[in-house]
A and B are shown apart, each in its own frame.
Chain A
Amino acid sequence: MIGLDVMIIILIMIAVGGVLICAGVFFMPVGGAPAAMSTATGIATGCEMMAAGAGITGLLMSAALYGQPSYIVILNAGISSAIMMCITMLVANFIVIFGKGVPPALATVEKDPVTKENVKPFVTPGTVGHGVPTASYVSGFIGAFLGGIGGALTFIPILRVALSISQGQTLNVNVLLGAFTVNAGHQHVPLFVLAGICALSMYFINANIAAYSIRGVIEGWWDPKFKRLPKTAITCFVASLVFGMLALLLLNSEAFITVLKMVRGG
């Protein structure tokens, strides 16, 4: 039912999305439990939950903009995730600075990589930094942007294939990458649910590989742990290909296509 060229494009989109999700997690300033006690730099939650937050924001945005050309959907998903993450970091900084009275500081470098300020002297002895300094903020912005793009890249192909089969359209590369002229009604909402839950699964699978590679805390792109990115990205690429094939098998199955025809009937 789905042509070979379309399948290859879907797999490439999902695999590139997986790599971007992985890179996004590496860029985010993950603080984990120590950050909640202001004894480490970053946002006070684990890699996985932060990635899930950024990813779900991106998925919501790409579901809202389903009819636009792909690059607009992808960019907007990235921007919405970045806005979400920036607000989180800003509020976290307010709490740390005005609530706890702790200055944001980095422990792994002498000077802030972005503003070139001296940040090391502000680190309390016995801790590895506090709050979200400017460089971590910029890094988090980039990370959430990449993560949102990755989420949209896994969401778009699954949703568009399902929607276009349910409308009886012929599938080609244009349907996946260009503008999408389908007016979705209430009967199409389950397809959004399906695409969303599949994209969320892909998101968790990739974010977990990155999270295990980071093992807890990372400050940003200057952190020594950032050097693990290439190996982790290759693993994410392979894992996304494997699970993308599972998603393709689902989209290709006779049972699913029968259901999509049922959706067309109302």
Chain B
Amino acid sequence: MSEIKKVTIDPTKLMIVGLACGLVGAYLGAIRSEVAGLLAGILAVPVIVWGADTVRRIASYGLGTGVPSIGNLSSSMGLLAALVGLAYQPVIGVILAAVAGVVYGAFVARFKILEIPRLPRYTTELAMAASLALMCLASCVIGYYNPIPESGFLAPTSNFENIFKALFVTGFVAAIFWITSVAMLHPFNAGLGVGERQGRTLKIAVVTGGMALTLAGIARIGYLTIFGASTQLYIAYATLAAGVVVWAGGLVAFLRTAIREAASAVWTGIPPKKK
């Protein structure tokens, strides 16, 4: 059992930023422009960073089953809540994710299946982060998600028709499901160890968030091409480019940090340096 380490960013602040970014991303489609989809995809990156930080906190206690199980758990909880959220209203999905996460964590802690202090809070954060990330990425793939109805409270049903076409007819839902899972589990899975530090781990989360955004861009291109709407591809290419930029930027930042904090960085000799 590891002690509580000193953290660079306070987890509560990260949670507030993640919640705000995710909700803004989910509700941005109210402006009814495809730019909203691109921005929602970019806003999914802070949500993924929040999720990765939660995975870091919960998995640093040692689970006995490996870190990937936590990532799959979070995206499984998030997917069901996100689908409900996209069918009704995103905020309902987030609230249901929180309720389901509290119940899950409370029962797992009550029967001493996983003895981790404050487990309900962690599972709640996992479910909320995954559902928000999935909703943002889904609205990025379908173009934009318009949650404002003409009357009443529930989101217009045309949104769900788009989601059905973009995610289920093409099968991209599996890709989005797994990339959310991997984006959240990979940072701590790759960074864990004695010298693990929150700032460095979260830089890997930016890298995996960029990968998720890239995949959402590819899915957007695929969806538009399959349904013969290839004239509107420029925003899809912009999503892809934004994803690659976030990915490469995160990677450069992470490499710099890793080289600075390593004991030493030496040349292995392969490939040989040319003189």
**Chain A complexes with chain B:** yes
Chain A residues in the interface with B (C-beta under 8 A): 32, 46-48, 52, 189-191, 193-194, 197-198, 200-205, 208-209, 211-216, 228, 231-232, 234-235, 238-239, 242-243, 246-247, 249-250, 253-256, 258-259, 262
> Which A residues are in CB contact (< 8 Å) with B108?
209, 212, 235
Chain B residues in the interface with A (C-beta under 8 A): 63-66, 68-70, 72-73, 75-77, 79-81, 83-84, 86-88, 96, 99-100, 103-104, 107-108, 111-114, 154-155, 157, 159-161, 164, 168-169, 171, 173-174, 177
User: Is A208 within 8 A of B73, CB to CB?
Assistant: yes
| In the bound complex, CA of A132 to CA of B204 (Å) | 38
Q: How many A-B residue pairs have CB under 8 A?
A: 140
> Which B residues are in CB contact (< 8 Å) with A262?
161, 164
- Whole-angstrom distance between the Cβ of B5 and the nearest chain A Cβ: 22
Per a CB cutoff under 8 Å, which of A193, A214, A235, A253 touches B87? A253
A-B contacts, 11 listed (Cβ < 8 Å): A48-B72, A193-B171, A198-B79, A198-B80, A205-B76, A242-B99, A243-B77, A243-B80, A246-B96, A247-B80, A259-B157
> Which B residues are in CB contact (< 8 Å) with A249?
84, 87-88, 96
User: Is B65 within 8 A of A47, CB to CB?
Assistant: yes
User: Is A212 within 8 A of B157, CB to CB?
Assistant: no
- Whole-angstrom distance between the Cβ of B57 and the nearest chain A Cβ: 16
| In the bound complex, CA of A202 to CA of B112 (Å) | 21
| In the bound complex, CA of A247 to CA of B82 (Å) | 11
- Whole-angstrom distance between the Cβ of B174 and the nearest chain A Cβ: 6
- Whole-angstrom distance between the Cβ of B159 and the nearest chain A Cβ: 7
| In the bound complex, CA of A253 to CA of B154 (Å) | 10
User: Is B157 within 8 A of A246, CB to CB?
Assistant: no
User: Is A258 within 8 A of B160, CB to CB?
Assistant: yes
User: Is B113 within 8 A of A235, CB to CB?
Assistant: yes
- Whole-angstrom distance between the Cβ of A111 and the nearest chain B Cβ: 28
User: Is B80 within 8 A of A212, CB to CB?
Assistant: no
User: Is B155 within 8 A of A255, CB to CB?
Assistant: yes
User: Is B157 within 8 A of A48, CB to CB?
Assistant: no
- Whole-angstrom distance between the Cβ of A234 and the nearest chain B Cβ: 7
> Which A residues are in CB contact (< 8 Å) with B80?
198, 201-202, 243, 246-247, 250
